Chains A and B, each alone.
Chain A
Amino acid sequence: MRLEIDSDKCQVHNRCYALAPELFDVDDYGSAMVLNDGIVPAELEELEEKARLAIANCPEFAISVAAD
């Protein structure tokens, strides 16, 4: 799974960073960015679950799974 953030949609709610700091970081403005190029290792089920929660809790629908 590879995560993407649409930076035009991100309004800096910081939910992804709170729910999955292993997968997301924030810059000095609080804008979210993916860590490790957004790649969520398939062998880490716990991280996949956190990724799904981050996607499902973003109020702006800014996070998605890349199509590739």
Chain B
Amino acid sequence: MTDTLPHDPEASMYGPVTDWATDFDHADPDYNRHAHEIWADLRATCPVAHTDRYGGTWLPVTHADVTRIAYDTEHFTSRSVVVNTGEQLAEAPIGGAPPITSDPPFHHHARRLLLPPFAPKKIDPWEDDVRALCHQLIDDMGDADTIDAAVQYSQHIPVNVIARMLGFPLEDADLFRGFVHDTLEGVNHDPAVRMAAFERLDAYLDLQIQDHVDNPRDDLTTFLMNSTIFDQPLSHEHVRGSIVLLLLAGIDTTWSAIGSSIWHLAGTPGDLRRLWAEPELWPTAIEEFLRAYAPVTMARMVAKDHDFNGCPMKKDEWVLLPFPAANLDPAEFDRADEVLIDREVNRHAAFGLGIHRCLGSNLARLEVRTAVETFVERFPEFELADPAAVRWSVGQIRGPRELPIRVLRRA
């Protein structure tokens, strides 16, 4: 894509990070690359980090603090959930991408609309299609010794499924990944460049919505256009905002979880062998990968000045909610820093906690489980082709964007 934002760290407005406790930047490439070490250091020394970047941002890293903020809709608003350099124009309680950007009481109604299409009994029937897609992607790799499990595999799976659910052209998949990149990775670029990216996204979605006006069909876009809230049709902005949420939130999140799981297995042959010997461990293994490599850090804005655990939080500052850091807190999880694929009690927060729990978690779990199982079924033995060549995403969604894998055996 030539018209997406660069992910060159030098393009940041802020420059390199000088200190992770007082000047952190979650969009610095070193943050996701070394996230587990950074969170462990902060947990031991400074459990709520702060940076002046983005107009002021806090970073709590303990399970207790992350949980407390996730449940506190009085002191923290969701009106914007992606920490970025721009001016935050969206207003509470609706926000730009309802219901993820909505606050109570509006949130309840906007969310209730979208729960039925993502309930387990609506999502389960997608399994065969997802499995067929996974096999097709592996077939397309031919018999190459080295493949890229992010570029050739995981990045395609959620994009394909959500495009079909929304009734959007599958051939626009590159465009969707470009929108995701601009919105979620290009967070520390010049606000004018970001605004232009949003305008491209809105213009594209306006065209798709108009196409659904002209050609109504049985999909989520038509469903939203026909939905009502308080007995009124949803506004165009609400329909488009919810599509932004569905399109963007489901893509690189799930793609990251699939990629991280494969990355783990590539570097941990013992776990790969054990899953072959004890396939009944798959359900606990997938939950453990979701805990240990949870891809999503959410964000809130401070709704009013208040003191949080000794931190003077000011209205309109940002607060990152690193659910993956919460999942690695030894105060909450036994042997928190180890990946135990038979961990039976696993109250992890990969999909968030409280009223903003990931709406698409059933779909995400289905895609992750099916994609990782199919990869292992087809490639019983594999390893990292070049650990130094693994490239991690930048920003609030963490996962491998380039993941060269050497296939040692094919089934």
Cβ of B336 to closest chain A Cβ, rounded Å: 16
Q: Inside 8 A of A11's CB, which chain B residues have their CB?
A: 353-355, 357
Contact of A59 among B118, B283, B347, B355 (CB under 8 A): B347
Cβ of B354 to closest chain A Cβ, rounded Å: 6
Contact of A57 among B112, B116, B347, B362 (CB under 8 A): B347
B361 touches A14 (CB 8 A): yes
Q: Inside 8 A of A13's CB, which chain B residues have their CB?
A: 351, 357, 361
For residue B132, CB closer than 8 A to chain A, the reply is: no
A14 touches B362 (CB 8 A): yes
For residue B34, CB closer than 8 A to chain A, the reply is: no
B116 touches A12 (CB 8 A): no
A30 touches B347 (CB 8 A): no
For residue B193, CB closer than 8 A to chain A, the reply is: no
Complex interface residues of chain A between 1 and 34 (CB less than 8 A to chain B): 11-14, 17-18, 26-30
Complex interface residues of chain B between 353 and 376 (CB less than 8 A to chain A): 353-355, 357, 361-362, 365
For residue B21, CB closer than 8 A to chain A, the reply is: no
For residue A53, CB closer than 8 A to chain B, the reply is: yes
A26 touches B119 (CB 8 A): yes
Cβ of B67 to closest chain A Cβ, rounded Å: 10
A28 touches B345 (CB 8 A): no
Known: A13-B361, A14-B362. A29 touches B120 (CB 8 A): no
Q: How far is the CA of A2 from the CA of B351 in the complex (A)?
A: 28
B347 touches A56 (CB 8 A): yes
Cβ of A45 to closest chain B Cβ, rounded Å: 16
Complex interface residues of chain B between 296 and 348 (CB less than 8 A to chain A): 344-348
B362 touches A30 (CB 8 A): yes
Nearest A-chain residue to B114, judged by Cβ:
A29
B353 touches A60 (CB 8 A): yes
Known: A14-B362, A29-B112, A53-B344. A59 touches B119 (CB 8 A): no
For residue B196, CB closer than 8 A to chain A, the reply is: no
For residue B115, CB closer than 8 A to chain A, the reply is: yes
A12 touches B115 (CB 8 A): yes
For residue A58, CB closer than 8 A to chain B, the reply is: yes
Nearest B-chain residue to A19, judged by Cβ:
B283
Contact of B120 among A17, A53, A56, A58 (CB under 8 A): A17
Q: How far is the CA of A12 from the CA of B119 in the complex (A)?
A: 9
Nearest A-chain residue to B351, judged by Cβ:
A13
Contact string against B for A residues 48-68, beta-carbon threshold 8 Å, 1 for contact and 0 otherwise: 000001001111100000000
For residue B409, CB closer than 8 A to chain A, the reply is: no
For residue B266, CB closer than 8 A to chain A, the reply is: no
B119 touches A53 (CB 8 A): no
Nearest B-chain residue to A28, judged by Cβ:
B116
Known: A26-B120, A29-B115, A30-B119. A12 touches B346 (CB 8 A): no
Q: How far is the CA of A12 from the CA of B267 in the complex (A)?
A: 34
Q: For A18, A30, A58, which residue has the most chain B Cβ atoms within 10 angstroms?
A: A30
Q: How far is the CA of A30 from the CA of B353 in the complex (A)?
A: 16
Q: Inside 8 A of B116's CB, which chain A residues have their CB?
A: 28-30
Q: How far is the CA of A58 from the CA of B355 in the complex (A)?
A: 15
Interface CB pairs A-B, < 8 A, 22: A11-B353, A11-B355, A11-B357, A12-B119, A13-B357, A13-B361, A14-B361, A18-B365, A26-B119, A26-B120, A26-B121, A28-B116, A29-B112, A30-B115, A30-B119, A56-B347, A57-B345, A57-B346, A57-B347, A59-B348, A60-B353, A60-B354
Residues of B within 8 A of A (CB): 112, 115-116, 118-121, 283, 287, 344-349, 351, 353-355, 357, 361-362, 365
**In the A-B complex, the 7 residue pairs with the closest CB atoms:** A30-B119, A11-B357, A29-B115, A56-B345, A28-B116, A14-B120, A59-B347
